[in-house]
Amino acid sequence: MLFAKQENGVQWLVVGLGNPGKEYENTRHNIGWQALDATAKAWGGNITRSRFNALVDTVTVHGQKVMLMKPQTFMNLSGEAVGPAAAYYKIPQQHVILLSDDINLAPGVLRIRKSGSAGGHNGLKSIIAHLGGQDFPRVRIGVGEKPCPEYDLAAWVLGKFSPGDGKIIEKRMLDVVAALELILDGKPDEAISKYNGAVKG
């Protein structure tokens, strides 16, 4: 069996960034959770167990034990969940993969990087602080820019997608899962080459 539940000895941590609470469901800022839910579905996971101030599940993917995590700390404090989990399992930074929103990218555009700065994203800032560095891969998912400069940023990221943008996002979820599998297989450059940008074809 390709995907199976696994309880101990985690080798990778895949983290979807978002905010807990019904009012934040399906908002632009919670696209990391949406992507993680799609990943869990593909890998046979169920992210419901409470641990490390997060909801988690552990699965085996291509022979590697992977913890899927939704921090319950609110976005700006995500590192308070990620840091302790990485420390407990002795997971190196390079094996912590972040899924998050990006307002500088059009809806559904992916930007996969092997490392880098927070780029103004407070969730990434918190994780960098708690991991003690920024040498971890991340998959940033475009949610679109504010409609005008005067538009309140918080109102924008906490708003919901239009039906059209929502369909674009939904179609990209399988690409996110495929990119994650390449990263787990030690092929981040292939993931970047194949899935960065908008949908090809």
pLDDT of 150-198, one tens digit each? Answer: 888 888 888 889 999 999 999 999 999 999 999 999 999 999 999 999 8
- What are the distances in angstroms from CA 94 to CA 50, 71, 121? 24, 19, 19
CA Rg value for the chain: 16
Q: Is 29 a catalytic residue?
A: yes
pLDDT of 114-157, one tens digit each? Answer: 988 877 788 889 999 999 999 999 999 999 888 888 888 888 88
CA separation for the pair 135, 121 (Å, rounded): 16
CA separation for the pair 45, 107 (Å, rounded): 26
pLDDT of 1-55, one tens digit each? Answer: 344 444 458 999 999 999 998 888 888 889 999 999 999 999 999 999 999 999 9
CA separation for the pair 169, 151 (Å, rounded): 22
Burial class (CB in 10 A: 0-12, 13-18, 19+), 180: buried
* Catalytic member of 29, 95, 121, 130: 29
Residue 66 φ/ψ region, left for φ over 0, alpha for ψ in the -120 to 50 degree band, beta for the rest: beta
> Cβ neighbours of residue 48 under 8 Å, at least 6 residues apart?
55, 57
Q: Encoding tokens for residue 54? A: 């997060």
Q: Which domains does the chain have, with CATH numbers?
A: 3-194 (3.40.50.1470)
Does the pTM surpass 0.75? The reply is yes
Q: Give the 3-state secondary structure of residue 158.
A: coil
